[in-house]
């Protein structure tokens, strides 16, 4: 019987650009409670994905990171396929993607669902856009950048009376997804589902619940990752079950 690889020794050969490039067979990495420099996420079929750790400003907590437009095509394909499987029974008519990284995932999910197109939201104002079809937008990965989220008014007929899924790459603080819900509400559109590749910690839940009691039940993720706390020896520990 071959021993499972030790994550510390494997990390020595893992360059920063190597993350998100390979899915590993179930059980390839041990199910430890502590991690040093990467977190092992498990997909619904048991396959494992190594994610880099990002320490937060307080230096006492860290989160696992996923950047889907830097992932290999194989990883992106697997994440999109598993999210599409979760949405298929909901009978989605059209997928809406949230910028920036959510657009990459949304496009692939729409293809997996057999759709011919999807609707991308944007942060760049085209001259034919309307200010009333926009909302302020901030992101946990770029908190100092003040943007606005727009919908192309030409896309509105595609959404009228349709069963819509709103897709982002990661749900973290919940700020971006709530902004998107507010924008769609102003267009008389209420998604029947919210989808993401990663549900990052539980911080997004409170903000999403405050936007409406229906949203938590309508949210689907491929996998979840916890908020990690630093230990006395410098490792990162996930909370006890």
- C-alpha 172/C-alpha 167 separation (Å) is 13
Q: Which residue is it, tokens 């496009």?
A: 107
For residue 16, name the pLDDT band (cuts at 50, 70, 90). confident
Quote the pLDDT of residue 5.
40
196 assigned to some structural domain: yes
Is residue 232 included in any domain, yes or no? yes
Closest CA to 167 of 112, 98, 79, 84: 98
- Is residue 11 scored above 70 in pLDDT? no
Please report which helix (H) or strand (E) contains residue 11, including its range: helix 7-11
Q: Residue 1: inside a domain, yes or no?
A: no
CA gap 103, 219 in Å, rounded:
17
Domain count of the chain? 2
**Per-residue pLDDT reduced to its tens digit, 86-120:** 999 999 999 999 999 999 999 999 999 999 999 99
pLDDT greater than 60 at residue 220 = yes
What is the pLDDT confidence band of residue 1, given thresholds at 50, 70 and 90? very low
- Residue 239: the pLDDT is 84
Q: Find the domain containing 130 and state its range.
A: 72-223
Q: What are the pLDDT digits (tens) for 123-180?
A: 999 999 999 999 998 765 555 567 899 999 999 999 999 999 999 999 999 999 999 9
Mark whether 63 and 84 lie in a shared domain. Answer: no
Residue 149's pLDDT is 96
Task: Check whether residue 117 and residue 131 sit in a common domain.
Answer: yes
Residues 117 and 172 in one domain: yes
The pLDDT of residue 143:
57
How far is Cα 20 from Cα 51, in angstroms, rounded to an integer? Answer: 7
Closest CA to 139 of 155, 159, 162, 123: 123
Tens digits of residue pLDDT in 43-82: 999 999 999 999 999 999 999 999 999 999 999 999 999 9
- CATH code, domain with 106: 3.40.50.2020
Report residue 41's pLDDT band, with 50, 70 and 90 as the boundaries: very high
Same domain, 34 and 92: no
Mean pLDDT confidence for 210-233: 96
Does any domain span residue 118? yes
pTM, 2 dp: 0.89
Both 199 and 233 in one domain: the answer is no
Rounded to an integer, what distance in angstroms lies between the CA atom of residue 141 and that of residue 139?
5
Give domain status of residue 2, yes or no: no
């Amino acid at each position: 019987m071959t021993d499972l690889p030790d994550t510390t020794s494997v990390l020595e050969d893992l360059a920063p650009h190597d993350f998100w490039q390979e899915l590993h067979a179930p059980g390839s990495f041990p199910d430890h409670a502590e991690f040093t420099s990467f977190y092992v996420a498990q997909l619904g079929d048991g396959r494992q994905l190594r994610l880099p750790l990002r320490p937060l400003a307080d230096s006492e907590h860290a989160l696992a990171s996923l950047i889907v437009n830097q992932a290999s095509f194989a990883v992106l394909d697997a994440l999109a396929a598993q999210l599409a499987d979760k949405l298929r029974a909901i009978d989605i008519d059209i997928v809406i993607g949230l910028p920036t990284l959510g657009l990459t995932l949304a496009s692939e999910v729409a293809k997996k669902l057999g759709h011919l197109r999807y609707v991308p939201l944007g942060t760049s104002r085209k001259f034919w856009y309307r200010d009333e079809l926009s909302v302020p937008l901030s992101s946990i990965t770029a908190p100092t950048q003040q943007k606005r989220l727009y919908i192309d008014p030409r896309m509105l007929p595609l959404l009228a009376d349709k069963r819509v899924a709103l897709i982002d790459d990661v749900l973290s603080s919940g700020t971006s997804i709530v902004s998107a819900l507010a924008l769609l509400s102003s267009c008389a559109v209420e998604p029947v589902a919210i989808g993401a590749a990663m549900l990052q910690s539980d911080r997004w839940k409170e903000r999403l619940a405050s936007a409406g009691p229906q949203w938590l039940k309508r949210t689907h993720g491929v996998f979840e990752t916890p908020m990690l706390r630093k230990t006395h020896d410098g490792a990162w520990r996930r909370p006890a079950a």
